[in-house]
């Protein structure tokens, strides 16, 4: 896998395509999990995934560190693609429809996607690393171990920061927010 990432970095499109092929099912699952329960999003799983991959390709010659780094950046691209889709749709005829994001935050009500995006932006200003952890875990479906590799932290530290970020989001997205 690392060899494919290195070869892609040097411009080998065949290596890039092979990497996408090898990780396609896992990336598709992450996209499906992100879209699960979203009633007013007209993106299909494939559309979200392909839009995200096109955004990765457009970044041109990223210095990939490893598989976890690739997955982290892909999760960021999925989040951005979904946010852009919601914003474009809001500008369209159906401005009155709401898109709900099922947060999986204990006892939190489901919130609009833009609300969680804004909350993540606020969290990023306070603690960029915790915002990255939420992005990778929630939007990318990444495991604690993979997040730890990307951020160069221990798994225990990632777990603690994931827990505190979820609590912060619960407060930020709660009924009093």
Tell me the per-residue pLDDT of 4-52, one tens digit each, with 9 for 90 and over.
888 888 888 898 889 999 999 988 888 888 787 666 677 788 888 888 8
Task: Give the closest residue to 164 by CA, choosing from 172, 152, 176, 154.
Answer: 172
Give pLDDT, residue 44: 83
Identify whether the C-beta of residue 99 lies closer than 8 Å to the C-beta of residue 40: yes
Longest CA span, the chain: 51
pLDDT of residue 92: 62
pLDDT recorded at residue 96: 47
- Positions in the chain whose pLDDT score sits under 50: 95-97, 99-101, 103, 106-108, 177
Q: What is the pTM of this model?
A: 0.56
Provide the 3-class DSSP secondary structure of residue 70.
Answer: helix
- Number of domains making up the chain: 1
Whether 159 and 144 have beta carbons less than 8 Å apart is answered as yes
- Cα 50 to chain center, whole Å? 14
* Residue 48 lies in domain: 2-173
Query: What's phi and psi for 139, nearest 5 deg?
Result: -80, -30
Q: How far apart are CA 140 and CA 136, in angstroms?
A: 5
Q: How far is CA 1 from the centre of its chain?
A: 21
Would you state the pLDDT for residue 162?
92
């Amino acid at each position: 896998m690392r060899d494919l990432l290195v070869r892609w970095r040097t411009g080998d499109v065949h290596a890039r395509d092979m990497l996408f092929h090898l990780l396609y099912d896992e990336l598709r699952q992450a996209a499906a999990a992100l879209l699960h329960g979203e009633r007013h999003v007209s993106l299909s799983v494939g559309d979200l995934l392909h839009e995200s991959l096109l955004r990765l390709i457009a970044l041109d010659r990223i210095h990939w560190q490893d598989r976890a780094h690739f997955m982290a950046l892909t999760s960021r691209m999925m989040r951005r693609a979904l946010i852009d889709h919601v914003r474009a749709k809001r500008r369209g005829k159906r401005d009155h429809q709401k898109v709900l994001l099922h947060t999986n935050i204990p006892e939190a009500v489901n919130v609009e996607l833009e609300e969680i995006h804004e909350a993540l932006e606020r969290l990023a200003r306070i603690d960029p690393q915790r915002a990255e952890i939420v992005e990778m875990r929630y939007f990318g479906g990444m495991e604690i171990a993979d997040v730890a590799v990307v951020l160069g932290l221990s798994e225990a530290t990632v777990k603690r920061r994931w827990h505190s970020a979820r609590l912060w989001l619960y407060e930020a997205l709660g009924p009093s927010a």
